[in-house]
Homo-oligomer: A and B are copies of this chain.
Amino acid sequence: MQQSPDQIRQAYRQMRLIREFEERLHVENPKGEIAGFTHLYSGQEAIAVGVCENLRDSDFIISTHRGHGHCLARGCDPKGMMHEIYGRADGLGKGRGGSMHIADLDKGMLGANGIVGGGQPIAVGAAVACKARGDGSVSVSFTGDGASNQGTVFEAMNMAVVLKLPKVFVLENNGYSEHTGASYGIGGDLKTRTEAFGMPVWEADGFDYFSVYEAAGKAIEHARAGNGPSAILATATRYFGHFEGDPQNYRAKDEVKNFRETKDALMTIRDKVTGAGIFTAEELDAIDDEVLKLIDASVDSARNGPTPGRDIMMSDVYIDY
């Protein structure tokens, strides 16, 4: 733990923020106010935060359909996100994108993406811009175990290697691709397949913030130094269904419960941090309180946010047409 207390506080807070954001959505969702598909990230918090805590303002990330965690970790405004998820005119996407398309270009967050494998080629493009700038900035994409079988992801990996771009592929194996186990759809294994393109892959425990932070740090440093692309492979689990409403018929009865009890990312960081005497449980609880209040306020505000109208439907298709 070579991180400063401030860094650790920030990381813990971000992980808690994601966790509570998602747990709250899980509670709110059945009430019927939230439209569309909602894919929750709970269980994988250490990955998004472990990666993003390594980033600078000039870096880029691109996310997946399961985007809330990456957005929050990258610093998107939770209230703006919540408004978007509730379809409000003042949400980050003006209510036009919803949960699956949250982005904030001002934060170098190039969007959640509803197309599995859609983001990776785009992130490679952002890496072209990073390289052109020559300021050591990097581009990071997140890719699920299921997404790793999409042709566009292979193309993106190969392209990044061929052009020696400052690009980091974050592979998140949460064990499932919708209702199918990760192992079923993957010929070979993720690490070997990725290395075969000629890039290094660092493995991490996706439940452990410090493990991910360290692996991602190596990958990002590798890119910043001009050594080209690399990947990290982090394994965790998702606590909820593929989307809200999924009965999860494909999972063993106690699978999630076991993970929650033995591996939980928030539990892990708390144990480590309190164990090392960096913060007391009370100090961390105070962070939790702050986060919970923020989420409460975001949900209240979003539930009462302004409804988008025809002007919003018709605008921003083009800049000039």
Q: A: which residues have CB within 8 A of B?
A: 149-155, 157-162, 184-189, 192-193, 195-199
Distance in Å: Cβ of A120 to nearest Cβ of chain B: 10
Distance in Å: Cβ of A118 to nearest Cβ of chain B: 12
Most chain B C-beta atoms within 10 Å of own C-beta, residue among A161, A187, A188, A192: A187
Q: Is the CB of B184 within 8 A of A188?
A: no
B residues near A161, Cβ cutoff 8 Å: 187-188
Q: Is the CB of B157 within 8 A of A149?
A: no
B residues near A196, Cβ cutoff 8 Å: 188, 192-193, 195-196
Other than A151-B152, A158-B186, A193-B196, give 8 A-B pairs with Cβ distance below 8 A.
A149-B155, A149-B158, A150-B155, A151-B151, A151-B153, A158-B185, A158-B188, A196-B196
B residues near A198, Cβ cutoff 8 Å: 187-189
Copies in the complex: 2
Q: Given A193-B197, A195-B196, A196-B195: A162 and B150 within 8 A (CB)? A: no
Distance in Å: Cβ of A243 to nearest Cβ of chain B: 24
A166-B318 Cα distance, complex, nearest whole Å = 49
Most chain B C-beta atoms within 10 Å of own C-beta, residue among A154, A161, A189: A154
A195-B195 Cα distance, complex, nearest whole Å = 12
Question: What are 11 A-B contacts with C-beta separation under 8 Å?
Answer: A154-B155, A157-B187, A158-B187, A158-B188, A162-B187, A187-B197, A187-B198, A188-B198, A189-B198, A193-B197, A195-B196
A152-B150 Cα distance, complex, nearest whole Å = 9
Q: Is the CB of B184 within 8 A of A162?
A: yes
B residues near A185, Cβ cutoff 8 Å: 158, 162
